[in-house]
A = this chain, B = another copy of it.
Amino acid sequence: MSVVKSELRRGHYCDSIVLMQLQAALAGLPGIADSGAVMATEANRQLLASQGLLPEDAGEAGDGDLLVVVKAEDENAAERALGQIDALLARRRGGGGEGYRPKSLAAAVRQLPAARWASISVPGRYAAELARQALELGRNVFLYSDNVSLDDEVELKRLAAERGLLVMGPDCGTAIVGGIGLGFANRVRRGAVGLIGASGTGLQAIASRLHQLGAGVSHALGTGGRDLSAEVGGATARQALALLAGDPATRVVTLVSKPPAPAVAARLLAAARSCGKPVVIDFLGYVPPVRRIGSLHFAAGLEEAAELAAELADGGPQRVAASGGEGYLRGLFAGGTLATETLLQLRLFLTPLASNAALAGVERLADPTASRGHTVLDLGADELTVGRLHPMIDPDLRLRRLRREAADPEVGLLLLDVVLGEGADPDPAASLAPAVAEIKRARPELAVVLIVVGTGDDPQDRDAQIERLSDAGAEVYDTVAGALARASEWALRPASLPAVEAGALASPPAVINAGLESFYSSLVDQGAEALQLDWRPPAGGDEKLIALLRRMR
C-alpha cells in the first residue's frame, strides 16, 4: 500500500530544467516509487491526477506555485523525501560557476554589444515583456516561449516591423542563423537553401532531410505557429522572405507552414513570387492541383519539400520574372469538377474567393446570380438545372452571364470550360466565338481564358473549335493544368517586401540567452559567442505586483 504526499510552496518560481532535475532526484530516493515537481497550473494538476500523483488534500494552487509530490512505500519515506527538497534545490543552485551574469537585458547588451540576437525561453507570462525590452534595445528576438498571448504577439511584431527587426515566435522551436542553431536545431551542412517555417519540427525534418540528400542550409528562420493567422498577418514570414531575398548565400527559399489564413495567403504568395528566387512551399495539407506556378513550387509534404529544394539548389542560378494581372477573376463553369479544381487551385491565390460550390476556404455565395469579387461558378449545379438543360448542352444561360461579367469594369479575367464529346453541344464555338469577339472588341485588355476538354476524335472537331475560339481573341488551353497555371500567374500581383536590418543574418551570431540554460550551453558548444542572463520573475512572480510595476513604467 503506497502513500502519496505533496508539498505546496506558494509564489516559488522554478526553472523547468530545475523541476525536471528535482523530480528525477526525488524519484531516486529510497522508498520512492514515483514523483512529480511542477508549477501548479491547471493542466499540470490534471496530468498529476491522471498519473495517480495528486493527493486529495493538495488544496487550491495557481500558476505561480510550486507543487512537489511523492508516491512512497510508507509515510516515513514520503516525509523523508519531501524533507530533502531544499537540499536538492540548493545542490542544483550551486552547480553553476560561469562567473558574473547580468540580471537585466540592458546590462547584458552592455556586456556583449555584438549580440544582434536575444533568445528568450522564460515562462510565457513573462516572455512578452522581455521580448519588448530586447526590441527596444535594437535586438532581434528568438522567442522560444509558448503561452504568449496573441495580442502580445501582434504588438511585438508591430514594434519589430517599425525597427526592421525580426521576432521569431512566440513558440518558435528552432532556427539556424549563420550556421548556429537557436533552440532545437540539427547540425546540417551550410548551403544554398534558406528555410522559413511556422512549424518547428517541420523545419527540422526538412533541414535534416536536405543534409541527408547532400544539400545544405543557409539560414532557417522560424516565425511561430500563429504568424500566418489573420491577426498577425504573416509579419515575420514576409520579413524572413525579405532577409533571404537579400542574402547572397541563399539560392532557393523553402517555406513550411500550416495553410495561411485566406486574408494572408494571397499577399504572402505574391511576396514569394516577387522575391526574385525560386520558393518551395509546403502548406501542410494544402496542395494545389497545379504544383508549379512560375518560380513557386508546391510540395505535398516534408519529404517532397526537401527533395524539390535540393533539386532546385543543385540547378544553378535561375532568372525569376514575376507576373500578375489586375481586377477580379470570374469563372463560369459548365463542369462541376472543373469548377472545384479551379477553386482548389486558386483559393489561396485569390482571397476572398466566392462560389456557389461549398469548399473550405471559399466563401459561399447565397445568390449565384450575382458575383462578388473573385468568383468561380458551377453553372451545372443541381439548383440551376431543374427543368432546364445542362450548360454543356444549352449555352444560353452561360452566354448571358458571360456578357454581364464582361460589362463589369472591375473584371480582369474570365475563365470558362468548353467540354467537347458525345452528348455535349455539337458546336460550342458557334455561339461562344462571336461572344468572345464582341467582348474583346469592347475591352481588348480583358483576358478570356478557355479550357477545352476533349480529344481530336470528338465529334466537334477539337482543332477547328480551338482555332475559331483563338481567332476570336480567347487564350485557349487544351489542358486544365495549363489554364490554371495561367490564372494563378495572373492572380499573383507584384508585391514589395518589408524593410529589414540585414545584420540579422551576420555570421556567426552573438546571442544573449534568457531562460533555459541548456540552450546557452548548446550555443557555447557550437562555438557561438553567448551570454546567459541571470533571469528571475519580476517581483518574485507576484502577478499583482507585476501588473502594478508595468503600469508604473
* A-to-B contact residues, CB < 8 Å: 16-17, 19-20, 23-24, 38-41, 43-44, 46-47, 50-51, 63, 123-124, 146-147, 171, 173-174, 181, 183-188, 199-202, 204-205, 208-209, 211-212, 225, 256, 258, 284-285, 287-291, 300-304, 334-338, 340-341, 344-345, 359-360, 369-370, 382-390, 392-394, 396-397, 400, 417, 419-424, 453-455, 457-459, 478-481, 516, 518-519, 522, 525-526
Contact, CB under 8 Å: A386 / B43 = yes
CB within 8 Å for A455 and B389 given contacts A287-B287, A337-B205, A369-B47: no
Q: From A339, which residue of chain B is reached at the shortest CB distance? A: B201
Contact, CB under 8 Å: A335 / B200 = yes
Contact, CB under 8 Å: B421 / A186 = yes
Contact, CB under 8 Å: A187 / B396 = no
Contact, CB under 8 Å: A393 / B212 = no
Q: From A333, which residue of chain B is reached at the shortest CB distance? A: B201
Contact, CB under 8 Å: B458 / A419 = no
CB within 8 Å for A185 and B423 given contacts A290-B301, A338-B201, A480-B303: yes
Contact, CB under 8 Å: A454 / B181 = no
Whole-angstrom CA separation of A518 from B211 in the bound complex: 61
Distance (whole angstroms) from the CB of A397 to the closest CB of chain B: 7
Contact, CB under 8 Å: B382 / A201 = no
Q: From A202, which residue of chain B is reached at the shortest CB distance? A: B337
Copies of this chain assembled into the complex: 2
Q: Which residues of B contact A389 (CB under 8 A)?
A: 16-17, 19-20, 516
Contact, CB under 8 Å: A337 / B23 = no
Contact, CB under 8 Å: A201 / B146 = no
B123, B184, B459: the one within 8 Å of A392 (CB):
B184
Interface centre among A38, A186, A290, A396 (most CB of B within 10 A): A186
Whole-angstrom CA separation of A211 from B462 in the bound complex: 13
- Given A16-B387, A423-B518, 16 more A-B residue pairs with CB atoms under 8 Å apart are A46-B369, A147-B386, A173-B392, A181-B422, A186-B458, A188-B457, A201-B336, A201-B417, A211-B457, A258-B340, A285-B344, A288-B300, A289-B303, A300-B300, A302-B480, A422-B525
Distance (whole angstroms) from the CB of A495 to the closest CB of chain B: 25
Q: From A187, which residue of chain B is reached at the shortest CB distance? A: B457
CB within 8 Å for A338 and B47 given contacts A39-B387, A184-B421, A422-B181: no
Contact, CB under 8 Å: A341 / B302 = yes
B124, B256, B419: the one within 8 Å of A386 (CB):
B124
Whole-angstrom CA separation of A302 from B417 in the bound complex: 14
Contact, CB under 8 Å: B301 / A341 = yes
Contact, CB under 8 Å: A336 / B225 = yes
Q: Which residues of B contact A208 (CB under 8 A)?
A: 421, 453-455
CB within 8 Å for A302 and B289 given contacts A225-B336, A386-B63, A386-B124: yes
Whole-angstrom CA separation of A392 from B392 in the bound complex: 57
Distance (whole angstroms) from the CB of A165 to the closest CB of chain B: 23
Q: Which residues of B contact A336 (CB under 8 A)?
A: 199-201, 225
Distance (whole angstroms) from the CB of A238 to the closest CB of chain B: 21
